[in-house]
Chain A
Amino acid sequence: MTMSRPFRITLVVTCAVVLLYLILPILIIAPMSFSAARFLTFPPPALSLRWYQEYVGNPAWMQSTRVTLTVAVLTVVIATPLGVAAAYAISQSKWRIMRLIHMTLLLPLVVPIIITAVGIFFVFAKVGLAATMTGLVLANVMLGLPYVVISVAAGLQSFDATQEMVARSLGMNRLRSFFVVTLPQIKPSVIAGGIFAFISAMDETIVALFISGGQYQPLTKRMFTALRDEIDPTIAAISTLMTAVSFMLVLIATSRSKTSA
């Protein structure tokens, strides 16, 4: 396509500015977390690990980190098999009800999260699940399920279902043929779905604000409360660590799904 020179230059400059806007927060957080200053100044006057020490040395932050990691791991362990089973059923069955089920499973993405959060808070308060680990994990399983379903359903779409039929006609039962023939081929999308569920559980804030409390407060809830009061540079250190973990996981997820294609 032909483009005039001024148009081209305008386009490139616009893109550069918008992309800078998009990545600016990431560019700024990491350097600030290594700052030696008590207050936020940029560029930092001197480098230090002071805020990381502050984080590691604080029992409250450490307890929250344990809660976050435990919740995220348990979420993956529970949401992945549930999501895989549901995605398999959805992709195998031409039954009309399955389409309705499929849409229902994606509801957590559509319903504004504040409504879900308040609703869960109310239900949990009634059944005694508020401020418990079980409640926190259950809520995150619900929030993570759509990611597993979407990812695995996409993986199953490119999988040839007749292969499983062949395995069964050769005498394998259904369960075995799934584990031996199907699962290995959709493994990348299962892993990607699990990783997305993990990241979603690690980042989840709004539901946690309502339903968690006492010793079971995830990092995000404590960060949110801290941010409302004052801007503590310890949060820059925690933010940098959280970002590093998510990026690493996303890299794994995407490189996995690429090798499958």
Chain B
Amino acid sequence: MSSPVQDLSVLHQRREQRLMLVLALPALLVILLLVVLPVGWLAWQSVYHNGFTLENYRRIWSEDIYWRSFALTFQISLLVTLFALLLGYPIAYAASIAPRRWAIVILALVVLPFWTSVLVRAYAWLALLQRTGVINQLLRQFGVIDEPLPLVHNTFGTVVATLHILLPFMVLPLYATMQQIPRDLMQAGASLGAGPMLTFWRIFLPLSLPGVLAGSTLVFVLALGFYITPELLGGGRTIMISMLVSRNVELYDQWGAASAIGVVLLVAVGAIFFAVSRFIPLDRVLGQK
């Protein structure tokens, strides 16, 4: 039996729920109409063309160009993630042990490029790396090389520029995790007779692993979908997945193929996020973005 007071509060709760729904609705509608609907449409179109068909997926599976592009994309993403970890770990570590003043300077320099447009940075790397670019000119002036090095319009240029854009996404989660590692633990390790190297390997490194996982996931997943840097710095030879999508639409008018590639990419990204979410909460991964 419910009392009239309870009924009233249930009624009130319902009204409250409805109001909140109404408030969230406009934003939700924008996302539903401009993300969910278009992506759903792509998925539909990848399997439906005058009837249900898996032809588009069969082609991805069987045609060499697609295979090579997928392999290359995973290879580049892996390479970028690895280098981001190698370069990002010392930076995050230094920021986590440095005095506050220095930590702020280091972090400011890390997020500075964040706020420079991706396009601007692609342009800068073109200017730095091209045949007559700054780096080749300097190397020639100092007599290190006679012929300009092929630094751009290839996979190397793509990796350098992609890494540049994604490095902050590695450093920030790493720093956030390292900062929370209690210093007492290190001191305890040292007091028990472990040297600095041993305390690092046995205590600090394992405790920083959640940050490593979060940063690596973010960098890897973002790299998988990169478009601008491979398009501008790859010189038409480094065809990544996203370029396959755009080429199929713009050059060949192959909507089915483009959709199928997009769906495969989306499933890969979703699967990675899902797998990682079993170890660390997803909002901790995405929070850095």
The reply to whether the CB of A118 lies closer than 8 angstroms to some CB of chain B is yes
Q: Which residue of B lies closest to A107 (CB)?
A: B35
What are 28 contact pairs spanning A and B, CB under 8 A? Answer: A1-B187, A15-B90, A15-B91, A19-B110, A29-B120, A40-B134, A88-B23, A89-B19, A89-B21, A112-B262, A112-B269, A113-B227, A114-B242, A115-B39, A119-B35, A119-B39, A145-B27, A206-B227, A206-B228, A209-B246, A210-B246, A223-B123, A228-B231, A231-B123, A231-B130, A236-B123, A239-B117, A242-B120
Q: Which residues of B contact A151 (CB under 8 A)?
A: none
Report B-chain residues with C-beta under 8 Å of the C-beta of A101: 24, 28
Q: Is the CB of B17 within 8 A of A95?
A: yes
A86 cross-chain contacts in B, Cβ below 8 A: 23-24, 26-28
Chain B positions within 8 Å of A112 at CB level: 224-225, 242, 262, 265-266, 269
Quote the shortest CB–CB distance from A81 to chain B (angstroms).
8
B123 touches A145 (CB 8 A): no
B137 and A228 contacting across the interface, CB-CB below 8 Å: no
**The residue from A15, A24, A122, A227 contacting B94, defined by CB atoms under 8 A apart:** A15
Q: Which of B232, B258, B273 touches A118 (beta carbons < 8 Å)?
A: B258
Given contacts A109-B289, A110-B273, contact A119 B119 (CB under 8 A): no
Decide: A40 near B87, CB < 8 A? Known: A115-B245, A118-B258, A138-B34. Answer: no
| Cα distance, A77 to B117, chains bound together (Å) | 22
Interface residues in A90-142 by Cβ distance below 8 A to B read 90, 92-93, 95, 97-98, 101, 104-116, 118-123, 138-139, 141-142
Residues of A contacting B: mostly: helix
Q: Is the CB of A23 within 8 A of B112?
A: yes
Nearest chain-B residue to A93 (Cβ)?
Answer: B20
Q: Among the listed A40, A116, A120, A246, which residue makes an inter-chain contact with B117, where contact means beta carbons less than 8 Å apart?
A: A246
Does the CB pair B31–A118 fall under 8 Å?
no
In the complex, how many angstroms separate the beta carbon of B113 from the nearest chain A beta carbon?
A: 5
Distance A107 CA – B35 CA, assembled complex (angstroms): 8
Which residues of B approach A to under 8 Å, CB–CB? 16-17, 19-21, 23-24, 26-28, 30-39, 41-42, 45, 87-88, 90-91, 93-94, 97, 106, 109-110, 112-113, 115-128, 130, 132-134, 137, 164, 167-168, 183, 186-187, 190, 196, 224-225, 227-228, 231-232, 242, 245-246, 249, 255, 258-259, 262, 265-266, 269, 273, 286, 289
A109 CB to nearest B CB, Å: 6
Asked whether A3 is an interface residue with its Cβ less than 8 Å from the other chain, the reply is: yes
CB <8 Å contact, A1 and B112? no
**Which chain B positions have C-beta within 8 A of A250?**
115
Min C-beta distance of B114 to chain A, whole Å = 8
Closest 5 CB pairs of A and B: A119-B38, A112-B225, A25-B124, A86-B27, A114-B242
Q: Is the Cβ of A113 less than 8 Å from the Cβ of B164?
A: no
- Whose C-beta in chain B lies nearest to the C-beta of A219? B119
Complex CA gap A184/B86 in Å reads: 44
A227 and B123 in contact, given A114-B242, A123-B38 (Cβ under 8 angstroms)? yes
Residue ID in chain B nearest A147 by CB atoms: B289
- The answer to whether A224 and B124 touch across the interface, beta carbons within 8 angstroms, is no
Q: Is A199 an interface residue (CB 8 A)?
A: yes
Kindly list chain A residues whose C-beta atoms are within 8 Å of the C-beta of B45: 122
Are the C-beta atoms of A89 and B20 separated by less than 8 Å? yes
A236 to B125, CA, bound (A): 12
- The answer to whether B228 touches A224 (Cβ under 8 A) is yes
Q: How far is the CA of A121 from the CA of B249 in the complex (A)?
A: 10
Q: Tell me, in angstroms, the Cα distance from A189 to B168 when the chains sit together.
A: 22
In the assembled complex, the CB of B131 is this many whole angstroms from the nearest CB of chain A, namely 11
Instruction: Of the listed stretches A4-12, A45-53, A59-67, A156-164, name the one at the interface; the rest are far from the partner chain.
Output: A4-12
A114: chain B residues within 8 A (beta carbon): 225, 227, 242, 245-246, 262, 265
Q: A205 CA to B255 CA in the complex, in Å?
A: 21
Interface string of A52-88 (1 = CB under 8 A from B): 0000000000000000000000000000001101101
CA distance A88 to B42 in the complex (A): 32
Contacts of B97 in A (CB 8 A): 1
> CB-defined interface of A183-225 with B at 8 Å, one 1/0 digit per residue?
0000000000000000100110110011000000000100110
Contact A3 B265 (CB under 8 A): no
Looking at B119, B130, B183, the one whose CB has the most chain A CB atoms below 10 A away is B119
Residues of B within 8 A of A107 (CB): 31, 35-36
Closest to A32 in B: B127
* Distance between Cα atoms of A109 and B273 in the complex (Å): 12
State the CA gap A227–B38 with chains docked (Å).
Answer: 29
A247 touches B (CB below 8 Å): yes
CB distance from A184 to the nearest CB of B (A): 19
User: Closest CB-CB distance, B58 to chain A, in whole Å?
Assistant: 20
The digit string for A17-38, where 1 denotes a CB below 8 A from any CB of B, is 0110111111011001000000
B120 contacts across to A, CB distance below 8 A: 25, 29, 239, 242-243
Given contacts A85-B24, A114-B227, contact A40 B269 (CB under 8 A): no
Establish whether residues A104 and B17, one from each chain, have CB atoms under 8 Å apart when the complex forms.
no
Residue of A nearest to B117 (CB): A203
Q: Is the CB of B38 within 8 A of A22?
A: no
